[in-house]
């Protein structure tokens, strides 16, 4: 089936399907939690990390509209012009298709490489100049929502494309693996920005995974934050001494509910 489909399809077209995948992920992945928060706030309230913050439907729609503007003006065009780099590093579309083991190993490399580079870029963006000129846009949502995961300054979108592409450049694989990497990474970012810690959250099953609770505090503190820079896993924060805040859920919620009590824990 893959051979028949790709025989008459250019590699450039296959690569550009990333744009469609990202559009679907940005639109649909945050939707279930957003609908629950809007339609059944009491049911999901016990799991909300900042329960005092409630966004209206208009605010959700505004966030989605802002993200779509970034998508069509920055992310989409970036995908269109980056194909030569994809070919240069050796990402391919031919047969044989990758095995599940090969895909899993490459995806692990991609996550680890992206996580390490993203940590240092994120930390630099919390310097005075980087935050005021670029990163503060992403921190406008002090209580993040899934739709706000890709909400950022256009320069930040471009800069963070580097760690996302570094893994596939180091360990190039099949286009299918590359598609899966892009989808999984964005879904992880949406989960981390969801604002909820559910009983089935990945933090309970994946070692060193930061998740929503870990990153939510980082957004809450905002520009003053010098901790919890982790993109996916928390090992860099642990190694470099910036994992100062990692409270159980009930402590975190109590912190958010107490006015002005979080500042001393920066």
Q: How many angstroms separate the Cα of 245 from the Cα of each of 52, 103, 107, 217, 250? A: 20, 33, 28, 8, 14
Residue 256 lies in a domain: no
Residue 113 lies in a domain: yes
Peptide bond into 266 cis (omega under 30): no
Parent domain of 49: 1-248
Residue 153 lies in a domain: yes
Residue 45 lies in a domain: yes
What is the three-class DSSP state of 115? Answer: helix
The whole-angstrom separation of Cα 52 and Cα 186 is: 27
The whole-angstrom separation of Cα 122 and Cα 219 is: 12
Residue 255 lies in a domain: no
Tokens of 234: 């928390």
Residue 253 lies in a domain: no
Q: What is the pLDDT of residue 94?
A: 86
What is the three-class DSSP state of 233? Answer: strand
Q: What is the pLDDT of residue 261?
A: 38
Express each pLDDT in 85-127 by its tens digit: 999 999 999 889 999 999 999 999 999 999 999 999 999 999 9
Express each pLDDT in 140-176 by its tens digit: 999 999 999 999 999 999 999 999 999 999 999 999 9
Q: What is the pLDDT of residue 245?
A: 58
Burial class of residue 123 (count of CB atoms within 10 Å of its CB; 0-12, 13-18, 19+): middle
The whole-angstrom separation of Cα 260 and Cα 1 is: 59
Predicted confidence band of residue 204 (pLDDT cuts 50, 70, 90): confident
Q: What is the pLDDT of residue 243?
A: 84
Express each pLDDT in 215-259 by its tens digit: 999 999 877 788 899 989 999 999 999 987 554 444 445 444 544
For residue 52, what is the DSSP state? T
Give the whole-number percent of the chain exceeding pLDDT 70: 92
Q: What is the pLDDT of residue 207?
A: 86
Mean pLDDT over residues 7-34, rounded? 92
How many domains, the chain?
1
Tokens of 141: 């949502």
φ, ψ for residue 197, nearest 5 deg: -120, 90
Residue 52 lies in a domain: yes
Tokens of 121: 């870029």
């Amino acid at each position: 089936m893959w051979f028949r489909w790709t025989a008459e399809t250019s590699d450039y077209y296959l690569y550009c399907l990333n744009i469609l995948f990202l559009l679907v992920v940005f639109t649909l992945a945050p939707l279930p939690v957003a609908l629950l928060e809007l339609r059944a706030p009491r049911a999901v309230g016990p799991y909300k990390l900042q329960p005092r913050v409630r966004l209206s439907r208009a605010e959700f729609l505004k966030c989605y509209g802002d993200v779509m503007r970034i998508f069509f003006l920055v992310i989409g065009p970036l995908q269109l012009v980056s194909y030569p780099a994809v070919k240069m590093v050796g990402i391919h579309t031919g047969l044989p298709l990758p095995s599940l083991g090969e895909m899993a190993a490459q995806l692990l490399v991609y996550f680890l490489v992206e996580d390490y580079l993203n940590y240092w870029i994120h930390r630099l963006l919390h310097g005075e100049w980087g935050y005021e000129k670029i990163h503060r846009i992403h921190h406008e949502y002090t209580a993040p929502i899934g739709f706000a995961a890709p909400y950022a300054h256009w320069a930040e979108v471009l800069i963070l494309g580097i760690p996302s592409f570094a893994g596939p450049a180091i360990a190039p694989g099949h286009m299918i693996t590359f598609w899966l990497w892009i989808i999984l990474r964005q879904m992880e970012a949406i989960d981390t920005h969801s604002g909820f810690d559910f009983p089935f959250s990945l933090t309970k099953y994946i070692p060193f995974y930061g998740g929503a609770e870990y990153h939510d505090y980082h957004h809450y503190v905002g520009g003053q934050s010098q901790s919890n820079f982790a993109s996916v896993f928390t090992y860099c924060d642990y190694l470099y001494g910036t994992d100062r805040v990692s409270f159980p859920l009930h402590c975190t919620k109590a912190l958010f509910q107490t006015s002005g009590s979080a500042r001393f824990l920066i």
